[in-house]
Copies of this chain bind each other. A is one copy, B any other.
């Protein structure tokens, strides 16, 4: 499918951020960038790419989508790559033993357009070539996106996964670019009403997790070190699902602080 119109400008409006977690082959980073370019995605983040960065093989494989690679940001861990995001979609090929909503790429496309349309920053999380995302990484996301594939051959290349998500992002967008879309306006309805506040950033959410973990640790809540990772995962999934606003995060942290101070105050001399 050749046919680039060189006279057209790149479409660089607000769009979902693509985060590749521990990508192994430069070729895949390059073809992912090409797929991004096809569908108007332009912000790429790499978490600890195996072969370092920049990577010549990525450039070659990108077929000219160099502006995406040039501006790619590199992070050492997933958490830091998501800090200024409001909403994160984790792409997985198989069902996870996790309490988290699972949607299709098509549903994700609708959802992304609504969120980006109202000013939220959203990210698409893609796993490493060999085994995808870890449960821990998935727990950092708000929702799981799984494409309906042949269960007998479910392994999708990263660039292909990026392509599907980009395609679904751009599919409807393409018809309404630059104009007020009644379709998008209609979709805005069922979204979260956040009257006088805004959705929390991931940095704020992760701050809550750390605060909670610290206090629960001090309280001996995690009976054994072995159980702790699973318990933390469950806590993250639970709070992650609620799509908390920044005000609610502050309120929850206030609650945690209050609760831990309770008996302290009661037992203070003279109290």
A residues lining the B interface (CB < 8 Å)? 1-6, 8-11, 31, 34-35, 37-40, 63-65, 91-107, 126-127, 129-132, 144, 146-161, 163-164, 167, 170-171, 174-175, 181, 183-184, 186-187, 190-197, 212, 215-216, 218-221, 231, 234-235, 238-239, 241-245, 248, 251-252, 254-256, 258-267
The answer on a CB contact under 8 Å between A171 and B148 is yes
- Between A and B, 28 residue pairs with Cβ closer than 8 Å are A1-B158, A2-B129, A3-B94, A4-B153, A5-B94, A8-B151, A9-B152, A10-B150, A11-B150, A11-B151, A38-B154, A38-B155, A38-B156, A38-B160, A40-B150, A99-B195, A101-B192, A101-B193, A102-B191, A103-B190, A105-B167, A148-B184, A215-B259, A216-B255, A219-B259, A219-B261, A219-B262, A260-B260
Cα–Cα, bound, A161→B254 (Å) = 40
The answer on a CB contact under 8 Å between A221 and B255 is yes
The answer on a CB contact under 8 Å between A2 and B93 is yes
CB distance from A45 to the nearest CB of B (A): 18
The answer on a CB contact under 8 Å between A132 and B1 is yes
Are A187 and B146 also in contact (CB < 8 A) when A193-B95, A256-B259 are? yes
The answer on a CB contact under 8 Å between A195 and B156 is no
Q: Which of A5, A102, A153, A262 has the most CB of B within 10 A?
A: A153
Are A99 and B248 also in contact (CB < 8 A) when A106-B171, A259-B215 are? yes
Are A151 and B261 also in contact (CB < 8 A) when A34-B157, A92-B3, A163-B163 are? no
How many copies of this chain does the complex contain? 2
A263 touches which of B100, B159, B235, B267 (Cβ 8 Å): B267
Are A258 and B221 also in contact (CB < 8 A) when A3-B92, A191-B101 are? yes
A251 touches which of B102, B235, B243 (Cβ 8 Å): B235
CB distance from A104 to the nearest CB of B (A): 7
Cα–Cα, bound, A171→B105 (Å) = 10
The answer on a CB contact under 8 Å between B148 and A35 is no
Q: A39 to chain B: which residues have CB within 8 Å?
A: 149-150
The answer on a CB contact under 8 Å between A186 and B102 is yes
Cα–Cα, bound, A192→B106 (Å) = 17
Cα–Cα, bound, A38→B104 (Å) = 15
Q: A241 to chain B: which residues have CB within 8 Å?
A: 241-243
Which residue on B lies nearest to A175, using beta carbons?
B148
Q: A9 to chain B: which residues have CB within 8 Å?
A: 152
Are A5 and B152 also in contact (CB < 8 A) when A97-B195, A98-B195, A238-B242 are? yes
Which residue on B lies nearest to A91, using beta carbons?
B1
Q: A170 to chain B: which residues have CB within 8 Å?
A: 148-150
